[in-house]
Structure 1
Amino acid sequence: MTDNNASDTSSAHSPATALRSDVQAIIDRPSAQVLIIGGGINGVGTFRDLALQGVDVILIERSDFVSGASAASSHMIHGGVRYLENGEFRLVRESVQERNRLMRLAPHYVKPLPTTIPIFSTFSGILSAPLRLLTHKQGGKAKERGALLIKVGLTGYDSFSRDGGSVPRHEFKGHKKSMQKFPKLRDSVKYTARYFDAAVENPERLALDIIGDGRAAATGGTAHARSVNYVEAIGDSEGGVLLRDTVSGREFSVKADVIVNTSGPWTDLTNKALGKATSYMGGTKGSHIVLDNPELYTACAGGEIFFENNDGRIVLIYPLNGRVLVGTTDIDADPSEPSVCTEEEVDYFFELVSHVFPTIPVDRSQIVFRYSGIRPLPKHDDTAPGFVSRDYRIEQTVFAGDKKTPVLSLVGGKWTTWRALSEHLTNEALALLKKSRTVSTEDLQIGGGVGFPATPAATKAWVAEHSAGLSPERTAQLLKRYGTKATAVIAHIAEQPDDTPLTSLPEYSTAEIDYLVKSEYVVHLTDVVLRRTIVAFVGGLTQPVFDELSALIGKQLGWSANQLTSERSLAVENLVFFHGLSLTAPAVAPAHS
């Protein structure tokens, strides 16, 4: 098992007439210096880094890339101000450095996020904070942190966050100014504290850029960088790792000098499949809902509202892609079971919104999307979930198949630190291969962030230069969606003689969908609606959109009528069960004209 929901129906077997070219490329040359198992953000980051060093590397993912724990994030790139209370100073320093770095290296997707903490007392939490730090347990009734404790924390955070003056220091405002800025806040607010973190607006697309960088690094050289989704590791065979293509059912083995297990919450399950029992992991479930609530969107005043609920859990409410993201929970979870956002969690989210914005009504009719995932946290016994370390470590064992091949298992890890973590994993793999690092990723732009215009004037100039016959509005839309990699999309559109806007989704066109399907490793319908686009996330996946997209994608991939019916059923099962969407899959889909 790798980085996916344990029962994600999108990875189920579907009919196929021929092996995919990426699968065939591995079968034709079934060996590598490094085999990475698990295509979440840390797996793809390590794939990119190793490829840049000239290492022959294969990356496999059981489901779609970044479809498991990495798809269930809060869409934040943050330093983790609350980790200071856990005493995780190394992690906070690294996190804020990586946050600042990613705003420079991936400016097309990672944006500054003003964050406001509403504070309802001055001294609350002072006595309990040292106890929490020492014991990592929450005793008695949780108390909100007061202004003094938050001031101490943010002052410490500032000391880690400075980056040439580009990240402003925190600021406090009293009741009057707080209510002027946030008139819908609970009127008992005494202060608000404001600081900056960052949001990753489209994390799945950022991950695709990272994969693309890795594959491009090997182009023209002697090394190979091969990546494939919907291939799982299931055991060992003649000293190699036995793999199965979940699309065709074909099994084959791959030998590697080093195996890297980046399966996230499923790391122990992957090791068990490979013949070595481990007990490293102890993940917790985090759920989110996405609301179409214009009043709540406006109330956030363009930034995140971040606070501690009265049960001690950290809560976030912030505008994202025209909607409002609300999260998150922190509940012990079993990675062998599917992770779903429950009705009890929805009730909890509504309660916390009313805790801060008591006059803004929220109800289930406003939920356009929900999701849940398991954090890849270490085993934590009786430590309270909120105090489990968010740091990471690397464990080394040997592959049971030949008793000598080293296996590096990643324990922990988060979106914010993926680059630094990948650097550490790469360095350990290089040491085992007796190779040295030749390329640093510290200042290496990512994908569509290369040459991304930083000002309105630069954006206008880029659009004028790269439109290739498209309207300025359409070109600007593609730049926003793909960064400077929009040039490849624009070129593909220009080559198509019959490009037309979709009837049900006019902000996309037939040629743009064709580009995604044929250039971005699409296997199932859910790959497009959940990860190549944000159509489902923002509530845009209506029945007409689903019908039109499925017919178009089926045509582009050459599916038979039976295949299309099967794919539609699989997609509906996934989208209804995991994301709460209201869709049906009639036996015969409408034809795309």
Structure 2
Amino acid sequence: MSTHESDIRPEVAAIRSNPKAQVLIIGGGINGIGTFRDLALQGVDVILVERGDYASGASSASSHMIHGGVRYLENGEFRLVRESVQERNRLLRLAPHYVKPLPTTIPIFSTFSGILSAPLRFLTHKQGKPKERGALLIKLGLLGYDSFSRDGGSVPRHKFVGHKKSLQKLPKLRPDVKYTATYYDAAVENPERLALDLVQDALATGPQARTANYVEAIGANGDAVVLRDVLSGQTFKVTADVVANTSGPWTDLTNAALGQVTKFMGGTKGSHIVLDNQELFDATAGGEVFFENDDGRIVLIYPLNGRVLVGTTDLEADPAEPSVTTDEEIDYFFGLVKHVFPTIHVDRDQIVYRYSGIRPLPGHGDTAPGFVSRDYRIEHGSFAGSATVKQLSLVGGKWTTFRALSEHLANDTLALLGRQRTVSTTDLAIGGGVGFPQTPAAEANWVKAHGADLGEARARILLGRYGTKAAAVIDFIVAHTDTSGDTVTDAPLATLPGYSVAEIAYLMTEEHAVHLSDLVLRRSIIAFVGALDQGVFDELSGIAAEAAGWSPERLADERAQAAENLRFFHGIVLEAANTTAAAVN
């Protein structure tokens, strides 16, 4: 994208004015951000840079699940399952504004299938000819899964029911279902906003924590990392005692840019579609339907943000190429829905959003994609042959375990710095989860305390959208709207009344948004739920331009970039040219 503004962003200026740090983290996905927060809490002088927007790479392409990974038991990854279950329970406590319990049901169509093939799969990690898992095998797996939840978590144990009760609960299921098994995991309703909360937590610790999105690492110069501000094109150098590469599937590519040859990564592609299908939404009965397809791939169908999420694929992928959802994958998803809900019609007109990404998995040779380890490791080395600068490269990592992973990576970094941990994140609430009301009475009290200016109904909406960070949003709205009358005028959008002009201005000016795409894809779920039609796009772009001070040329560039991004990656077709007066404020 070309740029017409040459001013250096304040975030970049803060790094350039003090280009020396104890730690430089390259990669602002969930694990890099989590490590940034952890180190900042220890008082470490730390810089985080991300070549795109925060959580815009692999972290934006997850299944929105916080889960223990029941299937990882078959891979023998018991340590990972234990940690994942514990972190799932922990995130339900630490981030209750975004992480919610999710009942998960496995439909089962046989009793003994898979008993003989499962040990072979466990020992060889080869897919072979897929064998459906029967009730006995699933029961054994869930008993083991439950055993990892004995850390005081409040998630219920699994339950098994037979044919009759299964169809009473989920009447649209295939009529030949013999049993269903229901256990609990969790869903993260807005993962990108949770990542942003972590960024804000880090910055709140003090000036020793600095970060900038749209800044990429492009090379090494002696002991320094050469960075480029993507927006202005300007380059500058930063030195650090420890360089941490947390760039996910692109870890090897980042190392190559820094002059090192590594072959750590071997990610696989996962795609999803979001459907506006009320019948399918109702058929899930408020929970996830989780099963293994005939080809051995794990499948999920569940209600999310008023829509239905269907995923996922597991295909070999090249991180150097853009990841998009293909027509073949969409056909595959439709077949999956028919496999468990044979009478429910789904078609392409119901798709409101699609997305795809590459999992940051380790290299795996001829191991089948479904058996590639989902665990993580930290590779130690020296930066660009430096005698003094140390480098850590993260291989692997999941949304569910980001806090524990960040703790491990931070501990390794602290050891290299000769420092001790002073703050634990084990029970430290995240962002808008701090003081989040856990009961209807507590919610009513919060809403009453913060609803004096905008009204309690609006305060309740903002609480649901931002957690207790809504207090800052409300303060901003009050400060930036008409207060000449008895009440604040929080003008709703003409095309999207659930949002207001001042709220959109807040997202653009207070939350590190650089592009229009950041607003519609990651500061909000407007695109995800299919609410981004042409009128909304026009109105939002006009408000964003005014809030950010964009010139007409910059606005035209932003609209063109956003329209192409939405079309190519997400299947949303919009006109880039200005079509309403609202788009040219």
* TM-score relative to the length of structure 1: 0.96
Letter aligned with residue 99 of structure 2: V
Equivalent residue, structure 2, for 1:563 = 554
Aligned positions of 1:80-479 closer than 5 A: 80-140=69-129, 142-164=130-152, 166-218=154-206, 224-400=208-384, 402-479=386-463
Tell me the alpha carbon deviations over residues 559-589 of structure 1, each in whole angstroms, 9 at most, x when there is no partner. 1111111110001110000000011111576
Tell me the alpha carbon deviations over residues 505-564 of structure 1, each in whole angstroms, 9 at most, x when there is no partner. 111111111111111001000100000000000000000000110111011111111111
Match of 2:202, SS? helix
Equivalent residue, structure 2, for 1:78 = 67
The number of equivalent residue pairs is 577
Letter aligned with residue 579 of structure 1: H
Match of 1:415, SS? coil
Cα deviation for residue 239 of structure 1 reads 2.4
What is the distance in 2 between the residues matched to 1:163 and 1:116?
23
What is the distance in 1 between the residues matched to 2:521 and 2:223?
37
Task: Give the gaps of 5 or more residues in structure 1.
Answer: 1-11
Letter aligned with residue 355 of structure 1: H
Give the share of equivalent positions with the same residue, in percent. 71
Tell me the alpha carbon deviations over residues 349-376 of structure 1, each in whole angstroms, 9 at most, x when there is no partner. 0000000000000000000000000000
Letter aligned with residue 339 of structure 2: H
Cα deviation for residue 165 of structure 1 reads 5.9
Q: Is this contact kept in 2: 1:241–1:401, CA < 8 A?
A: no
Deviating runs (4+, > 4 A) in structure 1?
none
Cα deviation for residue 404 of structure 1 reads 3.2
Match of 2:243, SS? strand
Cα deviation for residue 468 of structure 1 reads 3.5
Letter aligned with residue 417 of structure 1: T
Q: Is this contact kept in 2: 1:15–1:247, CA < 8 A?
A: no
What is the distance in 2 between the residues matched to 1:165 and 1:281?
34
What is the distance in 2 between the residues matched to 1:60 and 1:312?
38
What is the distance in 1 between the residues matched to 2:569 and 2:580?
22
What is the distance in 2 between the residues matched to 1:62 and 1:173?
49
Tell me the alpha carbon deviations over residues 225-270 of structure 1, each in whole angstroms, 9 at most, x when there is no partner. 0011000000012421000000000100000000000000000000
Q: Is this contact kept in 1: 2:538–2:578, CA < 8 A?
A: no
Quick check: 111-120 or 579-588, which moved more? 579-588
What is the distance in 1 between the residues matched to 2:379 and 2:334?
40
Root-mean-square deviation (CA), in Å?
Answer: 1.1
Cα deviation for residue 590 of structure 1 reads 3.1
Tell me the alpha carbon deviations over residues 110-147 of structure 1, each in whole angstroms, 9 at most, x when there is no partner. 0100000000000111111111111111112x121100
What is the distance in 2 between the residues matched to 1:309 and 1:497?
53
What is the distance in 2 between the residues matched to 1:165 and 1:312?
31
What is the distance in 2 between the residues matched to 1:149 and 1:470?
54
Letter aligned with residue 299 of structure 2: V
Q: Equivalent of 1:520, from 487, 511, 520?
A: 511
What is the distance in 2 between the residues matched to 1:464 and 1:129?
55
What is the distance in 2 between the residues matched to 1:587 and 1:546?
10
- Alignment of 1:65 onto 2:54: yes
Quick check: 39-48 or 125-134, which moved more? 125-134
Cα deviation for residue 107 of structure 1 reads 0.5
533 and 165 in structure 1: CA distance in 2 versus 1, 3 angstrom threshold = closer
* TM-score relative to the length of structure 2: 0.97
Cα deviation for residue 401 of structure 1 reads 6.0
Letter aligned with residue 129 of structure 1: A
Equivalent residue, structure 2, for 1:503 = 494
Equivalent residue, structure 1, for 2:29 = 40
